[in-house]
């Protein structure tokens, strides 16, 4: 309608995201003084681990013969060195691409890898019975949404640990994105197997 939408940037020690000002009342953020904010900031920083572990999928070795078979979303070449001094040169690929490249039958991916891939935002998991998992943006935050469910599945999914919200008069279900996410996802994938691991098109 041509109006200016005021937005606010919410900054935390390890993340930041923007949301419209009109949504602030629905969050847990409150206005405070500088001293209180500084104390809360220091407390949160103290809880941040010094190091984090992550899984990196790479294709290494003689790349030129298979270059055209590699995903074309990024052609960046990485040069890494392990703690033992081994040097590795290769192309980074997504967990979804790695899972598809290393399986010859039904799609296979561990719950931890599935959670990481979904949170990365490029992966879509098609499950049996028409279910689908993908990352979506809701009120300025990333979530993992399960779509395609019917009323007979809702109680079971809630028991597995998914939570639901009514957004624009539609019931939607989400996998938690905190530390419980992989555990909840494991229950879902144990009941509904992965039919296909797809990737979103690069923007």
pLDDT band at 188 (very low <50, low <70, confident <90, very high): very high
Residue 16, C-beta contacts closer than 8 angstroms, at least 6 positions apart: 9, 10
pLDDT in tens, 96-144: 677 666 665 555 678 888 898 898 888 889 888 899 999 999 888 899 9
Going by C-alpha positions, the residue among 98, 13, 101 that lies closest to residue 56 is 98
d(CA 186, CA 183): 5
Beta strand ranges found along 149-200 (DSSP E): 163-167, 170-175, 194-199
Burial of 121 (0-12, 13-18, 19+ CB in 10 A): middle
d(CA 23, CA 197): 34
pLDDT in tens, 4-41: 888 888 888 888 888 888 888 888 888 889 899 999 99
pLDDT in tens, 47-99: 888 888 877 788 887 777 777 777 776 777 888 888 888 888 888 887 767 76
d(CA 192, CA 136): 20
Query: Residue written as tokens 């690069």?
Result: 202
Going by C-alpha positions, the residue among 153, 59, 141, 146 that lies closest to residue 100 is 59
Residue 203 has pLDDT above 50, yes or no: no
pLDDT band at 1 (very low <50, low <70, confident <90, very high): low
Going by C-alpha positions, the residue among 138, 102, 135, 131 that lies closest to residue 120 is 135
């Amino acid at each position: 309608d041509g109006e200016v939408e005021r937005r606010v940037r919410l900054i935390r020690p390890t993340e930041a995201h923007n949301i419209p000002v009109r949504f602030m009342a629905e969050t847990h953020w409150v206005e405070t003084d500088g001293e209180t904010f500084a104390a809360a900031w220091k407390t949160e920083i103290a809880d941040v681990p010094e190091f984090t572990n992550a899984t990196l999928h790479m294709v290494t070795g003689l790349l030129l013969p298979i270059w055209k078979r590699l995903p074309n979303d990024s052609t960046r070449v990485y040069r890494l060195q392990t703690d033992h001094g081994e040097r590795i040169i290769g192309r980074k690929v997504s967990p979804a691409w790695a899972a598809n490249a290393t399986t010859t039958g039904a799609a296979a991916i561990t719950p931890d890898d599935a959670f990481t891939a979904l949170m990365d935002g490029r992966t879509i998991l098609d499950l049996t019975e028409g279910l689908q998992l993908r990352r979506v943006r809701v009120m300025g935050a990333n979530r993992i949404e399960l779509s395609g469910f019917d009323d007979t599945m809702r109680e079971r999914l809630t028991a597995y640990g998914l939570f639901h919200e009514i957004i624009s008069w539609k019931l939607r279900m989400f996998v938690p994105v905190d530390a419980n996410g992989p555990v909840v996802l494991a229950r879902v994938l144990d009941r509904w197997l992965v039919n296909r691991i797809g990737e979103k098109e690069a923007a």
